[in-house]
Structure 1
Amino acid sequence: MTVAANPNAEAETLNAKLAGLDLAGRLSLVAGLGGRVVFTTSLGIEDQVITAEIGNHRLPIDVATLQTGRLFPETLALIDETEKQYDIHISRYEPEQADIDAYAAKYGLNGFYESVEARHACCGVRKLKPLARALDGATIWITGLRRGQSTNRSDTPFAEYDAERHLLKVNPLADWDIDVIKAYVADNSVPVNPLHARGYPSIGCEPCTRAIKPGEPERAGRWWWEQDEKRECGLHVAEEASSIVAQQ
């Protein structure tokens, strides 16, 4: 797959095509576009649905995860379980020790609790830089973003052009709600993180994730000490990602 003269128009065309397909059709179409296609998984319940489709249909899509060094033990165990169930390899991308040491020297190991700047810097070291390595050479990036995850994701398209990373970003579950996700998991015996059953609908690094309270949005447990309802790590906000990496 070559970069289109007008990548935004290409993304709009692909978005329209994907809208009329089921999940298997969406992933098959994207896998057939050529180039390196990468799916980055957090091992969350929606990502497990995508991984199941990739594995069951033997699609030529690389599966990668960001092993930040602060993940829950349950998440780490699920990586191995998922590989065995679907006979696939999940590439692990870890932060550089030198970056971790530099962060700790400046902010303290858990300095992310003290300021948004420090938290963004931690995400930059443990997530954004490893993501850049995971996507190196990729032409298409598949994610598990859904419109129902939070208010700032409510307009998530099926396909968009990521100008920061110069690739097409595909969100095949954009229109799936959590009930459809759970039904797929139950019907297809998809392995999921046991933390979901303990009140963790969205799971990230252990120090930065708590169980949500009844009535709270799905992502309310992420960086809960911050007041901004639109808080993100930068993976899916191009301008924020660029700013965070520039600070490293």
Structure 2
Amino acid sequence: METEKLTFETWEESKRQQLDLQWKDFMDVIKWAYRTYEDRIAYACSFGAEGMVLIDLISKIKPEAKVIFLDTGLHFPETYSLIEKVKKKYPMLELIMAKPAKTLNQQAAELGENLWERNPNLCCHIRKIEPLQQQLQDVDAWISGLRREQSTSRSNVNYVNKDEKFGKIKICPLIHWTWEDVWNYIKLNQLPYNELHDHDYPSIGCAKCTVPVQSDNDFRAGRWTNFSKKECGLHQA
């Protein structure tokens, strides 16, 4: 695999490298990512089931990898509990708890109480998108746990993508994994995971905007149930 750095700016000149990557497997992609970008790459992790798989895989290649968690201040207690378990299991990881510029009290004072109930897009922008923009300033690429099976909007994601929103390269090693693959890996390797997965939460975000679901066909049906919104905006151009 070629090791010449693929950047947002050189995307159009690197078509052959992109095509080469499509024929590799997930571990090849992770190895390529850290060999190519070294310390100028970060993994943005939500600590869902896919997140635990990627943390374990990445730790085998780069034990001291930078992992970003967008700490909105609105996550479930189970999510914060899992993060503490991850810190103990992978002590070399550089885990960054990225917080918004505005506290919840400041947001309420400026924009009103419970912004997520009235304008979830703005809430996500303040508490997720802006913090990630800040964290990605000093890297050339970031890793995400997107899978094609998750939703129609993610069905065409590739191993390596030009991320127009953040002006970076976005790398998604698990695009071909199924939900069954994810859980087989977690169980085989006895990984910790968010306990909410045992209570019908396939996709876990902020506590205010996530509910359990009964459908096996829509992994994101429990997100923003009173809105047409299905993405927080991190993965949209």
In the alignment, residue 92 of structure 1 is paired with which amino acid?
M
State the shift of 1:90 in Å. 1.2
Q: Which amino acid aligns with 1:52?
A: D
Partner of 1:27: 30
Deviates more, 1:44-53 or 1:101-110: 101-110
1:9-158 correspondence runs (5 A): 9-10=13-14, 12-34=15-37, 36-59=40-63, 61-87=65-91, 88-97=93-102, 100-101=104-105, 103-114=107-118, 118-158=119-159
Task: Tell me the equivalent position of 2:192.
Answer: 191
1:22 Cα deviation after fit: 2.7
CA contact (8 A) 1:28 1:59 kept: no
Identity %: 32
Conservation of the 8 A alpha-carbon contact between 1:8 and 1:161 = no
**CA displacement 1:106-125 (0-9 Å, x = unmatched):** 542313223xxx11110011
SS at match of 2:165: coil
Cα distance change of structure 1 residues 180 and 215 upon mapping to structure 2, 3 Å threshold: closer
How many Å separate the matches in 1 of 2:217 and 2:109?
35
What is the aligned partner in structure 1 of residue 166 from structure 2? 165
Q: How many residues end up aligned between the 2 structures?
A: 231
Q: TM-score, normalised by structure 1?
A: 0.86
Unmatched runs of 5 consecutive residues or more in structure 2 = none
Paired residues of 1:208 and 1:224 also in contact (CA < 8 A): yes
Q: RMSD value over aligned CA atoms?
A: 2.0
SS at match of 1:192: coil
Post-superposition offset of 1:47: 1.2
Q: CA deviation at 1:95?
A: 0.9
Question: Post-superposition shift, 1:101?
Answer: 4.5
Per-residue Cα deviation, 1:149-186 (whole angstroms, up to 9, x for no partner)? 11111111111111332211111101111111111111
SS in 2 for 1:21: coil
8 Å contact kept, 1:128–1:234: yes
> CA 1:134/1:178 → structure 2, altered by over 3 Å: closer, same or farther?
same
Deviation at 1:60, TM superposition (A): 5.8
Distance 1:41 1:63 in 2: 7
CA drift of 1:134 comes to 1.6
Deviations for 1:72-127, whole angstroms, at most 9, x for unmatched residues? 011011111112112223111001236x455323542313223xxx1111001110
The 1:47/1:17 distance shift into structure 2, 3 A limit, reads farther
Counterpart CA distance in 1 for 2:31 and 2:168 is: 18
**Code of the aligned partner of 1:97:** K
Question: Counterparts of 2:35 and 2:110 in 1: how far apart (Å)?
Answer: 45
C-alpha contact 1:68 1:94 (8 A) present in aligned 2: yes
Classify the secondary structure of the residue corresponding to 2:37: coil
